[in-house]
Structure 1
């Protein structure tokens, strides 16, 4: 295989995906995102009241923890390349449970803050970054399709856990809920990640040579640095816009005037994620990963604009949640498929780790910054600022597409 020819040119047929691994990871992603991320915004008011903090300060702690988690992403990526993603996910499940228990026990603000930071580090070891790397390790040439199927399953995380957190919050304290979440990570995620780790050798023995063959990236060596910068910038800006919306979605909709209907409206987000992935599976084969990423960023910006213009109009709020879900669903696929398409499967963990570090570090400021903007300047100003940043992200993805197109065409001519 010549390194100057795109990987797609060498794939004779769609390789088989590791179905059992994808299903197991789908369940652990639902639990991982539900317990470690989506529930926080609903439980935050209870945390603030219990600890004697303002909600704004609680989100400040959360933003700081996201920043530290982002800084750790590059190290975690290198560990995955060295020790295997499944092993990192196994230890990550244990660390997630310990961090949740530590947070539930925390007798002081300092211990609470340290627990939340530890929780975000653990998140990087068990969520999409690690799951995508595990799929790339298992069968590189089937990874793009496997990622699509995985995100299809995991798209239900918010739909399941937002109502669960809201319902549990009516009967239990946030500390008791976190203890239950810790048990869920120990009883379900830890054994499944351990099974994936042990099953890796068996999968390697039954897969074909074509399945195990490395994927070659579309970018040549001289274009990789520029491509890395553009993709990292684009994902960082998109991550900021999306993080601000997801963290504040339920309380923001409540503040706008939707009251108890806010949870119902927000629950449209999850099915929309799944719908976008179904549409991509059925009709998205002709879209390149850069085009897919650009579409994702555009949908997220459109969602913010719709909410800002619709005010208390219920159909507008529903359109916002659906549009945001569509963009987020495609974004999750792009996070896994675009780096694989551009840079290949060799060193995939380290490459996505560096990208995740930039994206998470930028997105870490979103919950706090957006909270401050809402509190001091109002929701309209906060939404406008978020839409503008997202629009810059769209432009960055367009630049990525412009860089990749001539490189890919040139390589194809050489291969012909």
Structure 2
């Protein structure tokens, strides 16, 4: 087993647990919290949104820490912080304890989810990190598939507090040791790049700023769409005329289609430039929305499949495209800066979209989402590869 594959398996397993016990936790646990604490649902779910906002604000600092110290110690710390946040959820009384626990979890998610994992792989393997990034997302793509049924099974046995405490222990006993086993940055870079690895000249700063801005706008707009759809998809499918059962069945296809999109990137897409693959992923959602507008409710299943595959591909692209465009130098800092608007938009989108979903016809909302995704794709299409250095610059470097 290669060093890259070993690191990806360790990270992917730990990421599955981290996502299942943090980001995907409220979907099952929050309704029980609302009933137990007799709290307003908006306040209970608002604590989760606040944690995402905090995660976004802290993300640039996390990127700088990974750049300076490597990803291994940052990820190890993240498992400790996630465990602490879950323990606070299980032990502290009242709504204030729930909010405090989620604020701590926000810090842990910032240091322990995809952006931190991608940055770690970039530090370890440089431009060779694309395949490990894909493997990590393939494994962690099953976080909700594993986490939601497990939480549903634990709730009657342990209650929501006991479930949170069990997950705190799991992060300490499973995720933390997996992070300890990750290779150290110095050894990994030497084995992956080799002592004679050539260093490419840095691209022009004006091109870097323009390309990063376009990339940030693209992923922020797409995260706004996925943040809104993640909460309101069932309501929107019902608004198209589907029964409750049909809407649930159609929405359930999103998870498998996300994994399918990642498998497509892992197999057929590996020979293409990551930017080309990202453009394909960005195109799938507008195509699905167009089908829905033209064909009506009968196209609900194809829409969900295309939307899920689009999300699956773009999850990989979030790590692979910046690495391919800008290189490994400064990659962790770049990922931290990119995570800030993405996490903030994910936190705000469900609340901002709620009145629109309530007052617009579902087909109009989904059509508007398709147009927004098409506008985002325009940003991606405007990105060009880095200009080659001039002969004079090459002579000066030599």
Is the pair's TM-score, using the shorter chain for normalization, greater than 0.5? Answer: yes
Shift of 1:19: 1.6
1:361 paired residue among 344, 360, 385: 344
- Whether 2:285 is the aligned partner of 1:271: answer no
Greater displacement, 94-103 / 369-378? 369-378
Shift of 1:306: 5.9
Distance 1:357 1:82, change over 3 A: same
Aligned to 1:84: 70
CA separation in 2, counterparts of 1:42 and 1:82?
37
- Aligned-residue Cα RMSD (Å) equals 3.2
TM-score, normalising length: structure 1 = 0.82
Shift of 1:102: 1.0
Query: How many aligned residue pairs are there?
Result: 391
Aligned to 1:6: none
Alignment of 1:101-250 (within 5 A): 101-169=87-155, 173-196=159-182, 199-200=184-185, 202-203=187-188, 207=191, 209-210=193-194, 213=197, 216=200, 219-249=203-233
Aligned to 2:279: 294
What CA deviation, in whole Å up to 9, does each residue of 1:50-109 have, x standing for no partner? 333343443333223212211111111001111111110000001001101112334232
TM-score, normalising length: structure 2 = 0.85
Greater displacement, 175-184 / 117-126? 175-184
Aligned to 1:69: 55
Contact kept, 8 Å, 1:162 with 1:263, in 2: the verdict is: no
Shift of 1:374: 3.4
CA separation in 2, counterparts of 1:211 and 1:241?
44
What CA deviation, in whole Å up to 9, does each residue of 1:334-357 have, x standing for no partner? 111111112110111101110111
CA separation in 2, counterparts of 1:113 and 1:331?
31
Greater displacement, 296-305 / 79-88? 296-305
2:326 paired residue among 335, 340, 343: 343
Shift of 1:221: 2.3
Contact kept, 8 Å, 1:65 with 1:120, in 2: the verdict is: yes
CA separation in 2, counterparts of 1:66 and 1:92?
15
Q: Secondary structure at the match of 2:171?
A: helix
CA separation in 1, counterparts of 2:112 and 2:378?
31
Aligned to 1:50: 36
Aligned to 1:7: none
Aligned to 2:267: 282
Shift of 1:29: 1.2
Distance 1:43 1:110, change over 3 A: same
Aligned to 1:8: none
Gaps in structure 1 of 5+ consecutive residues:
1-15
Aligned to 2:376: 393
Distance 1:208 1:32, change over 3 A: closer
Aligned to 1:10: none
Gaps in structure 2 of 5+ consecutive residues:
none
Contact kept, 8 Å, 2:127 with 2:323, in 1: the verdict is: no
CA separation in 1, counterparts of 2:44 and 2:19?
19
CA separation in 2, counterparts of 1:98 and 1:264?
36
Alignment of 1:1-12 (within 5 A): none
CA separation in 2, counterparts of 1:171 and 1:121?
29
What CA deviation, in whole Å up to 9, does each residue of 1:139-176 have, x standing for no partner? 21321122122222222222222333344446553333
Distance 1:290 1:215, change over 3 A: farther
CA separation in 2, counterparts of 1:137 and 1:192?
18
